Structure 1
Amino acid sequence: MLRFARALPRRPLLPLLPVLVVAAVVLVDLVGGAGLIWLPLLAAGPALAATTSGPRGVLCVGLLAAALSTMLGIRDAVHGRELLAVLSAVVAVTLASALTGALRRRRERVLADVRSVAEAAQHALLKPVPETVGPFRAAVRYSAAAAEARIGGDLYALVPTPYGVRLIVGDVRGKGLPAVGTAALVLGVFREAAYDEPHLLAVVDRIERSLARNLGGDDFVTAVVAGYPRPGRLEVVNCGHAPPLLVRRTGDVVPLEPARPTPPLGLRALSAEAPVLQELPFADGEQLLLYTDGVTEARDENREFYPLAEGLERHVGDEPARTLSALHDELLAHVGGRLHDDAALLLLSKPPLAAAAVREAGPDSCDAAPMAS
């Protein structure tokens, strides 16, 4: 809405629309000669100007409408009291519309400030993922359901640590500022523990203890925490989250279902089940996609869910950013252009050794890795 409202004054024809309405009323009166019948419609000009212009534009259109109504009233021999009533209506509508335009402009400025703060909070919370981290290439796409807020309850992070590359993708129960606060708590603990703890389960335990102290009784976070401790091996801990998708070198997409169901983070005290560490092979040329349920639960007009695994098979390629862009575009097309839940996609690709060697030997190999959009 803010983007649309801001675009209105920049379109050259829209500010002229109230003037065209006034001109049309004048033309009808001149042709029809009906006098008082059409003159009150001149008030539509300043009323419409409130949606396309600021207070100054409204006053200008109102002044034009008042002047033309006076001229036409005299031309059509409208009685003085009737003409005064028309002028009073035009002036009243003009003043009310000018006030409405001023309030609209003020709300637009406030909304722009809030959006700017939300974007700053997002950049601080969801830091950009580097295109290259360790032996991997990575990309991320994130869309908040509240499009103007640009921030929601989904979370992701990818960090190099002394114990290998580690990453997390999660989904906080609920929406709004409480969900954002919980996401910030989880990411802060993860980034700290990922550097300190040699074992991935210890990282998960740190997050669980922190959430147990800070969350309410019915709040929780589903998450997948993964690590690459040594070449060729992938560690995954799934805490009630959707299973990651592993793309084999053959192009087949395999969901990494947890060996045993595990409760989400923050609910371990209510269950006797503890998180399970899965260790899997992760060879050169393979890719790992982590995502949130805003992707898999997105429905089209026929209430059909988006088939993420099939979409990944269609669009997977050597460039993670290009793969996610294609997936994201297809997802938006599936739902008709607007997501109704936060959605995050994080793709980790392990290039073949030959490709990695060529990239490392390139002239820009010492430069800082660019950030993915």
Structure 2
Amino acid sequence: MVIPLGLIVTVCVADVLSPPHIHFGPLLVATPAITVAFAGARVTALMGALAVAAQVLIGVLRGVLPTANIQAQITALIVVSSICVTICMVRDRREQHLHRVQSVAEAAQSVLLQPLPTQVGPLRISGLYLPAEEEADLGGDLYAAARTADHSTRLLIGDVGGSGMAAINNAALLLGAFRTAAHRQATLPRLAVHLDGAFRWDASQWRSPAEQDTNEDSATATLLDIPDHDPVVHLFNCGHPPPLLLRGNRLTPLTAEASHLPVGFGGVFGITAYDVQTFPFEVGDLLLYTDGVIEARNTDGIFYPFTERAPEWTKDDPDERLRHLQDDLLAHVHGHLHDDAAAVAIRRLAV
């Protein structure tokens, strides 16, 4: 507000004190043009009216108000101010519409990528999602958790193929299939078959064989089952980066003996069984992540050293650990990710 007001005062003083053949009044047209950049229609109209009043005052003080020149300047200033106010009104309506659309999108995204429970049984859990696209809250990466009737916690972390709306649609599909079945499937292999079948069927039911794109209609994923009263973690991996087990400063990748095909390919190749690996998981921490974390590169093309940094945060709780990860990762890539990144931190407490 100081800038346009200062401009009006400066032009008035300079014009009145200048010789008769020098006129600064036409510079007042910049007042509404500057105001429109940061203010709404009402403020722009006010500044335009003040600029017109200043132009009239200049004409009176210099005794040139009846001349055609000063009247033309006043008319031009009124026209420019009216145009600026109209632009403000149109812009404000569009911004209001955009705000409503963003509110609906945020609500939909919060339903799709629901926050993880902070504590379930002996587990403390925290999730982090960093979209590559600005103003987006959901992309191709995903995570979810579900509680079973036999006192265990099941978790899913995945990365669907493709990008844009197709990736969001497939992420929503996989999350929906997991939430529907995770709490009632008897075993992890049966859950994997369900996810693969649901994902593949929905993604291809309306397409002809020539239109199907298996790269787009697939997802890497890791499924885990963590019992409350048994110090182990059961998991199988469908082409996804392995979870990391942290004990003190020691980091151990939970690499399965064989990685299964990504979700969506099982039905294509007739896979009906999945091998589950079991690893000890007593008091300690697990880190789940997507390739957007380990493949993030800075301007020099250097990958983010995730496995080197992760042991530095073993004393932090899951929330704080992921805050460190977020700050460190964004600093490494100078604030610009080229792919979505997600991570889940799990701490098993002593029972």
What TM-score bracket applies, with the shorter chain setting the length?
0.7 to 0.9
TM alignment of 1:244-263, pairs within 5 A: 244-247=243-246, 249-263=247-261
Structure 2 residue matching 1:148: 3-state secondary structure? coil
2:101 to 102, 114, 125: 114
Alpha-carbon distance in structure 1 between the residues aligned to 2:266 and 2:200: 9
Which one has a larger percent helix, Structure 1 or Structure 2? Answer: 1
1:137 and 2:117 correspond: no
Identity of aligned residues (%): 35
- Structure 2 residues not aligned, in runs of 5+: 205-211
Q: What residue is the counterpart of 1:25 in the other structure?
A: 11
1:215 and 2:214 correspond: no
Structure 2 residue matching 1:215: 3-state secondary structure? helix
Q: What residue is the counterpart of 2:318 in the other structure?
A: 320
CA apart distance, 1:127: 1.9
Q: What residue is the counterpart of 1:183 in the other structure?
A: 171
Q: What residue is the counterpart of 1:72 in the other structure?
A: 58
Change (3 A) 1:209 1:39: same
Structure 1 stretches of at least 4 aligned residues deviating more than 6 Å after TM superposition? 272-275
Q: What residue is the counterpart of 1:363 in the other structure?
A: none
- Structure 1 residues not aligned, in runs of 5+: 1-14, 357-373
Alpha-carbon distance in structure 1 between the residues aligned to 2:71 and 2:8: 18
CA apart distance, 1:31: 4.7
1:329 to 311, 327, 330: 327
Change (3 A) 1:300 1:25: farther
CA apart distance, 1:185: 1.5
CA apart distance, 1:182: 1.8
CA deviation vs aligned residue, 1:282-313 (integer Å, no higher than 9, x gap): 33222111112222232223232221112211
Alpha-carbon distance in structure 1 between the residues aligned to 2:167 and 2:186: 29
CA apart distance, 1:338: 4.1
What letter corresponds to residue 169 of structure 2 in structure 1?
Answer: G
Preserved contact between residue 263 and residue 271 of structure 1 (Cα < 8 Å)? no
Preserved contact between residue 172 and residue 221 of structure 1 (Cα < 8 Å)? yes
1:199 to 172, 187, 194: 187
Preserved contact between residue 248 and residue 311 of structure 2 (Cα < 8 Å)? no
Preserved contact between residue 36 and residue 44 of structure 2 (Cα < 8 Å)? yes
CA apart distance, 1:172: 2.1
Q: What residue is the counterpart of 1:235 in the other structure?
A: 234
Pairs aligned (count)? 338
CA deviation vs aligned residue, 1:108-141 (integer Å, no higher than 9, x gap): 2122212221221122122221221122111112
Alpha-carbon distance in structure 2 between the residues aligned to 1:105 and 1:266: 45
TM-score (norm 2): 0.87
1:38 to 24, 36, 54: 24
What letter corresponds to residue 201 of structure 2 in structure 1?
Answer: R
Change (3 A) 1:272 1:258: farther
CA deviation vs aligned residue, 1:65-106 (integer Å, no higher than 9, x gap): 112123324545668333233223322221121112112222
TM alignment of 1:259-270, pairs within 5 A: 259-270=257-268
Q: Cα RMSD (Å) of the superposition?
A: 2.5
Change (3 A) 1:68 1:193: same
1:60 and 2:46 correspond: yes
Change (3 A) 1:65 1:287: same
What letter corresponds to residue 155 of structure 2 in structure 1?
Answer: L
> Larger deviation: 256-265 or 115-124?
256-265
CA apart distance, 1:200: 0.6
CA deviation vs aligned residue, 1:116-174 (integer Å, no higher than 9, x gap): 21221122122221221122111112233334232323211111213521100112223
Alpha-carbon distance in structure 1 between the residues aligned to 2:270 and 2:128: 35
Alpha-carbon distance in structure 2 between the residues aligned to 1:38 and 1:20: 14
Change (3 A) 1:81 1:322: same
Preserved contact between residue 291 and residue 345 of structure 1 (Cα < 8 Å)? yes
